[in-house]
Amino acid sequence: MDNNTYVLLEVFDYICNKYEAEKEALAELIKLRNELRKDELMAAVIKSEHSYEEIMAFIKGSTEREEE
């Protein structure tokens, strides 16, 4: 193996490791974002004057008129 090939393999290995680290960091950030959204949604449901069933029906796009 010549020197250029060795250097290219080292660069490739470095880039792959960096990519994997960034991918893991992004996955953790997405997980944290989703947890925050869940907490925010639950707080809104608790504070709402509507029932859980009404809120779920709204989210799913159904209305009382459609059920009748």
The average pLDDT across 37-42 equals 94
Identify the pLDDT of residue 3. 86
Tell me which of 32 and 53 has the higher pLDDT. Answer: 32
The rounded distance, in Å, linking the Cα atoms of 8 and 1 is 11
Helix/strand/coil percentages in the chain, nearest 5: 85, 0, 15
Rounded to 5°, angle at Cα 47 from 39 and 58:
80
